[in-house]
Each structure stands twice: as structure tokens, then as C-alpha cells.
Structure 1
Amino acid sequence: MSGAGGAGGVGGAAATAKVFLHPAFVVGEIDRRIFGSFVEHMGRCVYTGIYEPTHATADAEGFRGDVSALVDELGVTLVRYPGGNFVSGYDWRDGIGPVADRPTRLDLAWRTAEPNTVGTDEFLRWAARRGLDPIMAVNLGTAGVREAAELVEYCNVASGTTLADLRASYGTPAPHAVRTWCLGNEMDGDWQIGHTTAEQYGRRAAEAGKAMRMVDPEIELVACGSSSREMPTFGRWEDTVAELTLDVVDYLSMHAYYDGTQARRDYLVSGHRLHRFIEDVVATVDAVAARRGSGRRLQIALDEWNVWSSAADVSPAGLARDLSLTPPRITEDPYQSLDAVVLGDLLISILNHADRVKIACLSLLVNVSAPILTEPDGPVTRQTTFHPFAATARLATGTALRTAVECAPLTTDRHGTVPSVAAAATLDRAAGRAAVFLANRGPNPAEVTIDHQAFGDCTLLAARTLTAHDADELRSIDGTLVELKRIETRNRATTAVLPAESWSVIELETRNA
């Protein structure tokens, strides 16, 4: 046994909570693809975001080296492309071949001119250089079955067909071998080009998926779920789409964004809202399988999720309304420490559903509501939300454990009573390490005791926190994690005082788990 403590120990006035861990009580193996992100041709995500050939750090293909370095540091494992709303008006053939011959198109989703300088081959080669697993979305808004199947052929067939040989002639002789494909995007939304009903979409997606699998039987497919939990068709949409695509697809998508301009306490319980959202979707798709007498279980692709900035008075969030011929600054949210705390809590909910959530994409990667911001011909910076994501991606390895939490309730105006403390835990048996992720949603400190006696003796390796509570001495100016000082490990338990409105991670060395 070993202990660590800062000045003052773990005393002081605080609410109390208990977290119980056992290595035998598991949620599931952590799919590393839950630490994904999303690149869309929106605002400055692509142009002057990941791609800027005139930048001092640009590589031979024009992608910014400073951005690529931060993508690596962030721990991103997977990237979805090219949209998003953009994909429903996109013809993938516009983005292949000699760049000088590519057309400039009006993108109706964001009312911007799309030069098609970056397309399928450029993106996939960039992803391959970064070791990223790509998820490609196909257009099921203004395009359909044939176009989707032909894009799979262009990307995945080795040689001997017109499209495979065309790819080779454009500089990529080996197939891209894209494994995962999204069947459209947010097709339940009336803002979406090609918006349709659940019945129409389900049949369209099933036929497109069937044709795509005829091209490459090894791919996996994601059908569109509701654009948000608040959609009036939520639930009925999931039920119908799952019914029509159950035999074809592997995943149903979820999109979840949480608004930082709402009441502070309501915003702080966003992690609980995501937990309920996931549970509702899982229950719905499993009910469809049960009704069908099917042993198939659709997994969840949370392929868009994030928070909106709580800095309402300075946030430029919004859509492009006037036609722009240059990449506009759309939704370049200046994130605060509060946003980072909430984002960390959302990651806790994702880990706690590792048995069903196999893909998750923080939306977006650069500039647009993103953890990374760039200036054209200038520097790149980490936003506050960068830090909890990077820490979780680095430490949450192996198996997600099922945590039991005893804590005081927290009353909110919008969402009723929710737990004041949230916890997720992971165990990497090979490395002999465990990590415990904690969110204190309440306005007061919380003394949390983690009971890990089933692990045998443990050593406290490190403990870090970030807090949105302005009066707390642990609040960092730039949202980076700082040492959690009021913590000790003894008698096979770890006790820590979590600051008010905080997110923390505790690392333990395990010997007998």
C-alpha cells in the first residue's frame, strides 16, 4: 500500500460519495474507435484547418504539420469524413483526379464555395499517414445506391475495374481499404438536403448497403439514427430504421450536442442526459431484434457528439447565411473550463457503455466547435476541451469496469434529480494499471472514497483534475489538468476530495487484478 496527500490531507467540509470497483464486474472491452473525431467540409475545418499548403509546417501534400502533431497528442484513433450536412449535396467524383481540373461547386449545406482541392484520396492518404481509421459517409440525400457502391469500388477494389484503375492512375495504386461506412447523414432533419421519412430512408439505406456489400463483403455499415434526442420523431425513427436495416447494417448512429448557454446546473448534468439517451436507443433497437426473433444486436456509433461553448457573449456560433467564397469562421467556439468539465463527464458516459458504443466521433476536429484552433499562416492552439479528451484517450485502455456509485442527488430545473457524482473505471490487465474517471457535478466539493479492495494492494500513481469553479485554487487558466492534491490511498481504498464542478482522473497500479 502507498499513499499521497497534499497540504491539509483529505479533510474539510465536503459532501461524501462512494465508488465500488471489482475486476470481475465488467462493461466490456474498450473499442479504441470511441476516441474518434470528425472532419467535414464546413467552415475552416479542412481549408486552413487540417490543410494549408502555404503554411510553414505543411507537408508535401499540403497538410499542416503542427495540426497533425496535435491530432496525435489528442489521441484520436478514427476520423469520419466528409460530412455531416455537407455530404448530402456532395458528388465524390468532384474531389478526385488532377486538382487543376476539379470544379468549384456551391455547397448548399453551408452556402460556401467548395474548391474540391481536398477530396477522397487526399483525406484518406492523410488519415493513413496519421494511423487513423477512416469512416466514410456516402450521399443518400441527392445521390443513391449506384453512387454509394461506386465510391466503395473506387476506394476498396484492388485493381481490374474502371474505378479501381482510375484511382491508381490518380496516384493511389493500393486500395484505401475503408472498413466503415455511414449511410447518409441526419436524414430525419428537415434541414438536410434529401430529407425523407424513416420508411423511405430505411429502404434506401438497406438497398445502398446491400449494393455496397456486393462490392466489398468485408465492410461494416452505419445507419442514421435521429439527429438528436429532441427530434419529434425520436424513438419511432429508430424503431422503423432498425426494422428495415437490421439484416444489413452493423450500427445505428447517434448525434448528441449539449448547449453551454443553458442554465449552469442543467448543463453540468449533460453526462447523465447522454447516459439516458444511449440507454433509450439500445432499448429500442434491441426491442426490434426481439420482435424479429433475431440474434443480431445493432451496436451504437455516436458519430457526432460535443458541447457548445458556454461563453455565450463572445461565441461566434452559427451557420453561414451569406454566400462565402472563402472558408468562413463558422462556430469557432471559445471553450471555457466549464465546457471541458462537461465534456469529461460525457466521456464517462461513453466509457460506461463500452459494451454497445463502439464508435464515437468528437465533432469536429479542427476550428469548428473543436479542441484545436488554427490561424491561417499562424499558430495552432489547444482549447480547454482538448485536455480531458487527450487524458481519457491515453489512460482508458483495456476493459471498462462497471462502477457502483453512492452519492447525494442533485436537483436540476430541466432534468429533475440526477446523481451528483459520476464515475467510470478502466482496467488494463496487461499493463497492471487502472484508471478512475470522476465528475463532481455539484456546487460543493465532494469527498469520494473508491473501494478497490478486490484488486488487492494498489499504488496511487497520479491524480489530476480540472475545475470550472472560479474560486477554487485548482482552476487552471488554460483548462489544462492540474494535480489533485487532496487524495490518499490506504487500506485498499483511495479517498479524494473532488473540487466543486470538476472532472478528475486517478491512476492506480494494480498487482493482483
Structure 2
Amino acid sequence: MAVARLTLDPSFAVGPVDRRLFGSFVEHMGRCVYTGVFEPGHPRADPDGLRTDVLDLVRELGVTTVRYPGGNFVSAYRWEDGVGPAGDRPRRLDLAWRSIETNAFGLNEFMRWAGLAGAEPMMAVNLGTRGVAEAAELVEYCNVDGGTAAADLRRKHGVTRPHDIRLWCLGNEMDGPWQIGSRTADEYGRLAARAGHAMKRVDPSIELVACGSSGADMPTFAAWEATVLEHAYDQVDYLSLHTYYDPERYDDASFRASAVHLDAAVDAVLATADHVRARLRRTKYIRLALDEWNVWYQSRLVEPEDRGIEDTPALIEDDFTVTDAMVVGNLLISMLRHADRLAVGCQAQLVNIIAPIRTLPGGPAWRQTIFHPFAHTARLARGTVLRPALTAPVMTTGRYGDVPAVDAVATHDGTRLTVFAVNRGTAPVTLHLDLRAFGGHTPGEHVMLAGDPHLTNTAAHPDRVTPSVHRSTTEVLLPPVSWHAIGFTTEETS
């Protein structure tokens, strides 16, 4: 049997685990909001129409940050449509997804939901069809106590205390020709700088995320980031990166090794940002927000212009397999590996839309396979990320050549050590853990997700794929296409 060896030392520190890495994304798209998080009349809905069964699963998932309201949706959205008396709100044609937006759920409903979910909001402003004034006014509505027109309007709407939203996105995927109001890098960079300046005049304590490339395979990748930062470096704190992985776009081995692509994309964006930092002679480092990422069967998407206008269309409700869950777990490993500079992560999306949580209108909610590696990583990844010394057998991929079949990272919070590992190959591997640098250790919980790579969870069989729990050891059998969280309680080291 093939063997992999992993050695850990507390001196091999990457950086602290930022809790914002375990974020998600709620967009007014398909059934994410309507019949997802919000369904008045559902047997499990609260008096505000929020589905409590979904809220229970969101809390179990461990989501820390939620980006809202888009996504492509935000680039033609008027935030004013979604506040005030629900009966007075207009029905609009959403240009992003060619569906009817009723505006029954808006900003204040989302903030009530986020509070119940225990999640920090990450609010996006429309820089597609709107601009500086509207962005600044939205910050005023959300974060100013009172005594101004926008703040007093919020109070009139029944929200007396400010929402105090700290994290803001300056638009969405503005490099994409599919985006309503898309722009060149120069156009967007100048607009982001002006909007960011005005928004921080309203509230200097907010943090701003500029749009990076909507994917590392875009023809303008890296050049876009450099140009945007040339204009907006001083105003922004983060640069976004979006990446999705389609099981049907590449050979099976390349899909299973998708984290190789994410590693390279993150490194490329950081190198670009640091080049601009050096050229502008700044001391501040830009951090990254991976605020859209997931497995997505994107090749199955029916484009908006090829569909009729619908009220709440069921869009990209993919059923995820064990293989998909392993890839999601591996992408989380990659994110932790870059914890020194990658500070925000938002898995897209939270409910129904390529999501860890699925629902039926009027019916149950259930966990998809990808729910499990996310939930356990969010629960167990604490303290400091450690970079392991790892030797592993290789697997051959069509896109990346030969890559390690085993990938891993670890976290340590002073007493608890957790190794997150995947076997992305098709043969079992024995993993030997060398923990001598930690003195004594007591075996803890080993959570494993494995099995038939093609199995999914459904409404009829919601628990067909669930993790198994074992006692940890320093010699671990990693079945093919499997994800693992291997825990130990350790003595504090000097």
C-alpha cells in the first residue's frame, strides 16, 4: 500500500485562523432566498417568515459571515426597494437572472436573519447601474445612528439601532461581460476609489473589498487586479477572488485536484497585489477575500437570456457527491494554507443554489454531502495554521500534471491539534503522522467522509452520506477519494 508521511512542528506557523474564512453567500437568485431562508406559511417558519429548520442547519454548518444580496443580482439592485412596509415595495424584473423580484425580503429582513444565524453581514453595493452617492447613502442608512435623512429613514422603518455593518463589497465581478454595467479595469478602479472614499467618509471604520477577477481563467486575470489596485489601493482593504470547479469540465483526476488551481490563483493574486504595493511604496498589505467559491456543474447552466421570465426559478440546484465533498474539503485546506493573507471566504451559495443546504417548498431541509467537511472544518480549525512537511505518492492529472495524491494542513490552538487531510487519488494510502514536536498527545476524534464517490443525499435519503467518527491514531488509513479531520489533545509546548 502507498504511504504518505506528515511531520508537524509548532514553529512552522502560517498565521491565525480568521473566523471569516467560514463564510457563505445569500443572493437573490433562484430559491436561495424565497423558499430557501424565507418562506412565510411554511410549517417551520417564524412570525417573520424565516425558516427555522434552515436556521438550525446554518448554525450547525458554522457559518460566520454571509455576503448579501449578490452576486450578479446586486449590479442592477435598488436597495431602497427592499426596505419599508412590505406592502409598498415594488415588484421588479431582475436583469441578472431574468426573474421577478418581489422585494418581500430585503435589507432589514436579512439583518434579522443574520442575527438569528449568528453570522456577520458582508454587504455588497451596486456599482453596475448606480454609483458613489447610492453606495454612501446605503452606509448611512445602515451605520449612522440618527439625525440624517438615511439614518432617520431606517428608524422610520422600525430599526432604531444602527446595523453597524463592518465589511462591504464594492460591486461584483465588474470584469465580466455578463455583469450588468460591467466596466474596464480603469473605469472600475476609478469608481471603486471614489465610492470607497465616500463610504469611509460616512463611516471610517468600515472595511472594503474591491472586485478582483471573476476567475483566474479570465483573459484579463492579474492585469485587472494590478490596474484596479493602482487606482484604489489606499481605499480598499481586501481584493476579491472568485473560483468554481466543474466536475464535467476536466478529466476526473484534474477535478479531484482542484485545490492545485486554487493554490496557484491565490499566489498569483497576492504577487500582483504586492507588486502594486512596492510600486506605490505603500506599507499596507492587501488581503484576499475568496468571496465566491465552490464546486459547480457550470456546464449545465441555462443562460438567463435562454429562459423565460419566472417568479422563483429553480436555478443550479446541483446534487453533490462524495467526490464533490472531498474537493470542497480540499479547497478548505488550501484556504487555511493561505491564512496569513486569505482572510475572508464565502462558499456560494448557502441554500439551494449549488449549496450545502437544500429545501423543498413547504417541505423538509437537508444536508448535502458538501455540508459535512465545511461544518467540521469550521468547528475544528482553531488557533494557528501549521504548514506540514508532507511526502506523498503522486497522481497524474490532465490539467496539472503529476500532483500529490494526499494534501493536508493542520491547526493548533495550544491544546488541540487537528490535521485536515484528503486522499484525492483512487487507491488507499496509509498516512503516518510525526507529532514528536508536540510532546505527549492524547488521541481524539477522527472524522472521515468516504464511500462510493458517486453517492448523494436527497430529500428521500437525506442521511445517505454522513461522516463516520473514529478514535484518532498516528497511522491513518485514507480510503480513495476521502476527507479527514484527525484530532489530538496535546501538551502546551514551550
TM-score in terms of structure 1 length? 0.92
CA contact (8 A) 1:309 1:339 kept: no
Q: Structure 1 residues 374 and 477 mapped into 2: Cα distance closer, same or farther (>3 Å)?
A: closer
Which residue in 2 is equivalent to 1:327? 312
Q: Point out the more displaced range, 116-125 or 139-148.
A: 116-125
2:201 to 199, 208, 214: 214
Task: Map 1:424-503 onto structure 2 (within 5 A).
Answer: 424-429=409-414, 432-467=415-450, 469=452, 478-483=464-469, 488=473, 494-503=474-483
2:276 to 288, 299, 302: 288
For 1:297, the aligned partner's letter is Y
For 1:80, the aligned partner's letter is R
Which residue in 2 is equivalent to 1:51? 38
For 2:403, the aligned partner's letter is V
How far is the alpha carbon of 1:133 from its aligned partner?
0.3
Which residue in 2 is equivalent to 1:411? 396
Return the alpha-carbon distance in structure 1 between the equivalents of residues 140 and 454 of structure 2: 58
How far is the alpha carbon of 1:112 from its aligned partner?
0.2
For 1:358, the aligned partner's letter is A
For 1:339, the aligned partner's letter is D
Give secondary structure in 2 for the equivalent of 1:76: coil
How far is the alpha carbon of 1:59 from its aligned partner?
1.2
CA contact (8 A) 2:258 2:331 kept: yes
CA contact (8 A) 1:469 1:500 kept: no
Give per-residue Cα distances to partners, 1:225-264, cap 9 Å, x unaligned: 0000110000100111122111110000000100011321
Give secondary structure in 1 for the equivalent of 2:191: helix
Return the alpha-carbon distance in structure 2 between the equivalents of residues 408 and 291 of structure 1: 41
Q: Structure 1 residues 471 and 139 mapped into 2: Cα distance closer, same or farther (>3 Å)?
A: closer
How far is the alpha carbon of 1:484 from its aligned partner?
5.2
CA contact (8 A) 2:23 2:64 kept: yes
Which residue in 1 is equivalent to 2:130? 143
CA contact (8 A) 2:197 2:235 kept: yes
Task: Map 1:196-235 onto structure 2 (within 5 A).
Answer: 196-235=183-222
CA contact (8 A) 1:309 1:335 kept: no
How far is the alpha carbon of 1:318 from its aligned partner?
3.6
How far is the alpha carbon of 1:124 from its aligned partner?
1.1
How far is the alpha carbon of 1:364 from its aligned partner?
0.2
For 2:254, the aligned partner's letter is D
Displaced runs of 4+ in structure 1, greater than 6 A?
none
Which residue in 2 is equivalent to 1:268? 256
Give secondary structure in 1 for the equivalent of 2:34: coil
Task: Map 1:343-358 onto structure 2 (within 5 A).
Answer: 343-358=328-343
How far is the alpha carbon of 1:324 from its aligned partner?
3.1
Q: Structure 1 residues 69 and 470 mapped into 2: Cα distance closer, same or farther (>3 Å)?
A: closer
How far is the alpha carbon of 1:140 from its aligned partner?
0.3
For 1:510, the aligned partner's letter is T
Aligned residues: 485
Which residue in 1 is equivalent to 2:484? 504
Give per-residue Cα distances to partners, 1:54-89, cap 9 Å, x unaligned: 111111211100000000000001100000000000
Give per-residue Cα distances to partners, 1:158-198, cap 9 Å, x unaligned: 00001101101101000000000000000000000111100
TM-score in terms of structure 2 length? 0.96
Task: Map 1:86-101 onto structure 2 (within 5 A).
Answer: 86-101=73-88
CA contact (8 A) 2:395 2:404 kept: yes
Q: Point out the more displaced range, 86-95 or 397-406.
A: 397-406
CA contact (8 A) 1:309 1:336 kept: no
CA contact (8 A) 1:319 1:330 kept: no
For 1:288, the aligned partner's letter is V
Give per-residue Cα distances to partners, 1:461-498, cap 9 Å, x unaligned: 121211255599xxx9733111458x63xxxxx11111
CA contact (8 A) 2:320 2:370 kept: yes
Give secondary structure in 1 for the equivalent of 2:90: coil
Which residue in 1 is equivalent to 2:458? none
RMSD of the alignment, in Å? 1.7
CA contact (8 A) 1:337 1:478 kept: no
Q: Does 1:61 align with 2:48?
A: yes
Return the alpha-carbon distance in structure 2 between the equivalents of residues 214 and 175 of structure 1: 17
CA contact (8 A) 1:31 1:359 kept: yes
How far is the alpha carbon of 1:506 from its aligned partner?
0.2
Give secondary structure in 1 for the equivalent of 2:151: helix
Return the alpha-carbon distance in structure 2 between the equivalents of residues 248 and 96 of structure 1: 28
Which residue in 1 is equivalent to 2:459? none
Return the alpha-carbon distance in structure 2 between the equivalents of residues 68 and 222 of structure 1: 27
Unpaired segments of 5 or more residues in structure 1?
1-13, 489-493
Give secondary structure in 1 for the equivalent of 2:433: strand
Return the alpha-carbon distance in structure 1 between the equivalents of residues 484 and 256 of structure 2: 14
Q: Does 1:373 align with 2:358?
A: yes
How far is the alpha carbon of 1:130 from its aligned partner?
2.0
How far is the alpha carbon of 1:20 from its aligned partner?
1.2
Return the alpha-carbon distance in structure 1 between the equivalents of residues 437 and 18 of structure 2: 25
Identity of aligned residues (%): 53
2:292 to 300, 304, 316: 304
Give secondary structure in 1 for the equivalent of 2:161: coil
Which residue in 2 is equivalent to 1:422? 407
